[in-house]
Structure formats: structure tokens, C-alpha cells
Amino acid sequence: YAFDYEGSKKLVFTLKEPPNSSCLVRNNSIRISTETTARSSNFEVKGYFPDKDCIIVDPSGNIVAQVYKIEDLMESKNLYHIVVKPGIDQAFIGRVI
């Protein structure tokens, strides 16, 4: 939620899991809506985040962010790299991931 100058809450975005599925199942996508009245999603997370292999696409299908696994840096650490396309809100992408 974001707060306006009067202190009231405004929904910033919502995440919607496809019906009858789990976000932890491979090859499912999660839809992100930035408008509460929209019937369709604005962005979509595709891939499998636990493997650090997923992308975020905009409504036109353009990749706006991608998550890569960092290989062999430290076996015991859960490290990954996020590439965000210029002009895209990095804080928004960080919250989605």
C-alpha cells in the first residue's frame, strides 16, 4: 500500500496466482496488476524463482527484468543477480521478486 497526503491507503499492485496452481510449480506464471479495476494483468512473472531462473514481462511481452543464479560463488549462500531494464522501477521489481 502507498499512503497519499491525507494518510489514506492506496493499493499499489497485486499479485495473482493462476487458479488451481502453485507459484512453486515449474512453468507457472504469476500475474501482477497495478490497477484494481483491470481485468487483465499488467506484468507477469514467468519461470521458477527457487531455481533463480525467471523473468518479468510487461503487457507487450517485453522482458523488463530477469533473475540469474550466480554460479559457484559460494555453495552455501543463496545468491542471485537481477537485471532490470532502464526506465523500470527497481523498487517495484525488487518487491515482486
Full domain range(s) for residue 53: 2-96
Predicted confidence band of residue 70 (pLDDT cuts 50, 70, 90): confident
67 Cβ contact partners less than 8 Å away, ≥ 6 residues apart: 47, 49, 52, 53, 54, 55, 80, 81, 82, 97
Q: Model's pTM, two decimal places?
A: 0.61
Given a contact cutoff of 8 angstroms between Cβ atoms, the answer to whether 24 and 16 are in contact is: no
**Domain total of the chain:** 1
Average pLDDT, the chain: 72
Q: How far apart are CA 45 and CA 28, in angstroms?
A: 9
Predicted confidence band of residue 73 (pLDDT cuts 50, 70, 90): low
- Give whole-number Cα distances, 92 to 8, 15, 73, 74, in Å: 20, 12, 27, 27
